[in-house]
Amino acid sequence: MKTTTHIKEIQGGITAVAGFTAAGLSAGIKKNKASDLALVSADLPCTVAGLFTKNKFPAPPLRLNKKHLKKGGGRAIIANSGNANAFTGEQGEKDAKAMALETARQLNISPETVYVASTGVISQFLPMQKILPAIPTLCAGLSKEGSRAAAEAIMTTDTRAKECAFQGPVGKDTVSIGGIAKGSGMIHPNMATMLAFLSTDVAMTQSLLQSALREAVDASFHRITIDRDTSTNDMVLLFANSRQGKIINKKGPRYRQFTTLLKTACITLAKMLVRDAEGATKCVAIEVKGAKDDKAASKIAFAIADSLLVKTAFFGEDANWGRIVAAVGNAGIKVKPEEINLFFGPTQLVKNGHYLGVEAEKKIAAYLKSKEITLRLVLQSGKGKSCVWTSDLSLDYVKINALYRT
């Protein structure tokens, strides 16, 4: 992706940051014996920030993590895929605690510094007889090269691992940030069926780290939508080991520089989720400019991005602008027809509410064969702007979700 000046992409994912190691293996949770247990570990106590699903039925690991987050510190994240440990009652609570306890015992750290994540099928008990015996091997396998293995171990319907890392200036220091994520379906703001784990060497107070993470998530994971569904297990965790520079304790220039770096990593991971959306053939950026304000622009962008008719038109590579303007009209924002200017990539198709004809549509037909598409709506109501990323809706999406448990 295009990054801000002085921010550079580096290799290594979540372990690109000094002091972090990771591992992944198959504990036999998944029927196909694919990798399904991941661990990320920090060699120093970390300040931790976290955001969690707004679903009213949060899974046991999330409830446990919220308790740990209140103390603000952390040393490790253990995550499994193939089973969400959600809607599992008291047994699910015990199992999440047992995962944290055994990991802490193996790493010789406090259980309250271990965060737990689970993703997969809802309403089934974890096979603890498989998970607990695998944890010692998982801990023994921690390495500086383990980011990819951990990223693969948290995948569910994902077709590829998702990881990134960046470096950039924060004051006089060079700060690194790395991350891994999973998610390809049930993706919608607040937050989605996704897990994202991030590491950094910045020194920052817990309250400011939490604030920076919220800003970054609002600019990234809260800007993507695939199918309007959210789940019970979604979370983003950010571990900061304070290796670089003097502690940031106010929202000054250094805070803003770090937040920009964090946004770069989160937006990169968020776009990876959309590109790997279940059955998707297109990654579509919906840009809205000239709305009354940013809130109005966001509502319009999501109305377009969430429209099943618009999404299927993108799958069919059809510049069906009628569906798009209908979605704008359904956004609940006052827009006059003559305000609408609609562009597919560089080509304008609607000018001041009027269709520009077949020649423009022919150019767009070729453009729509691309895997990366930008749809731009320019209004004349104000200075509000927003960008949302979505996918097309294909026949494979239905197949994947119809057969998910079989």
pLDDT tier at 81, thresholds 50, 70, 90: very high
Q: Are residues 309 and 252 in the same domain?
A: no
Rg (CA), the chain: 22
Can you give the CATH number for the domain in which 394 is found?
Answer: 3.10.20.340
Same domain, 271 and 289: no
- Classify the phi-psi angles of 16: left when phi > 0, otherwise alpha if psi is within -120 to 50, otherwise beta: alpha
Contact status, residue 116 vs residue 65, Cβ threshold 8 Å: yes
Same domain, 108 and 237: yes
Kindly state the average pLDDT of the residues 145-161: 94
The residues carrying an active-site annotation are 193
Render pLDDT for 27-44 as a digit per residue (tens, 0 to 9): 999 988 999 999 999 999
161-203 pLDDT tens trace: 999 999 999 999 999 999 999 986 444 555 445 899 999 999 9
User: Do 289 and 271 sit in the same domain of this protein?
Assistant: no
Q: How many whole angstroms separate alpha carbon 216 and alpha carbon 256?
A: 11
Residues 270 and 293 in one domain: no
* Residue 349 structure tokens: 């198709």
167 and 192 fall within a common domain = yes
Q: Are residues 226 and 316 in the same domain?
A: no
Q: What is the per-residue pLDDT for 392?
A: 82
Average pLDDT over the chain reads 92
In a domain, 1, yes or no: no
Instruction: Give the pLDDT band (50/70/90) at residue 364.
Output: very high
Does residue 25 contact residue 33 with C-beta atoms inside 8 Å? no
% of the chain surpassing 90 pLDDT: 81
Domain-terminating residue out of 275, 298, 332: 275
Q: For helices 89-107 and 60-69, what crossing angle results, to 10°? A: 50
CATH of the domain at 60: 3.60.70.12
* Residue 68 DSSP SS3: helix
pLDDT band at 1 (very low <50, low <70, confident <90, very high): very low
Nearest-angstrom CA–CA distance, 198 and 40: 10
3-state secondary structure of 280: coil
pLDDT band at 228 (very low <50, low <70, confident <90, very high): low
Query: What whole-number distance in Å separates Cα of residue 303 and Cα of residue 219?
Result: 18
Task: Look at residue 5 in the predicted model and tell me its pLDDT.
Answer: 65
Q: What is the extent of the structural domain holding 219? A: 8-275
**pLDDT, position 55:** 82
Specify the amino acid at residue 176. Answer: S
pLDDT value at position 275? Answer: 86
Helix (H, G, I), strand (E, B) or coil at 175: strand
Burial of 135 (0-12, 13-18, 19+ CB in 10 A): buried
- CA 139, 141, 146, 148 dihedral sign is negative
Q: Same domain, yes or no, for 202 and 340?
A: no
pLDDT at residue 187, rounded to an integer? 47
If we measure between CA atoms, which residue out of 262, 267, 151, 147 comes closest to residue 211? 262
Q: Into how many domains does the chain fold? A: 2
> pLDDT tens across 7-20, in order?
999 999 999 999 99
In 10 A of CB 105, how many CB atoms?
Answer: 14
> What DSSP element (H or E) covers 310?
helix 308-315
Answer whether residue 2 is part of any domain: no
Confidence band of 305 (pLDDT split at 50, 70, 90): very high
Read off the pLDDT of residues 328-352 as tens digits, 9 standing for 90 and up: 999 999 999 999 999 999 999 999 9
Query: Is 3 part of a structural domain of the chain?
Result: no
Q: Which of 212, 244, 275 is the last residue of a domain?
A: 275
φ, ψ for residue 311, nearest 5 deg: -65, -40
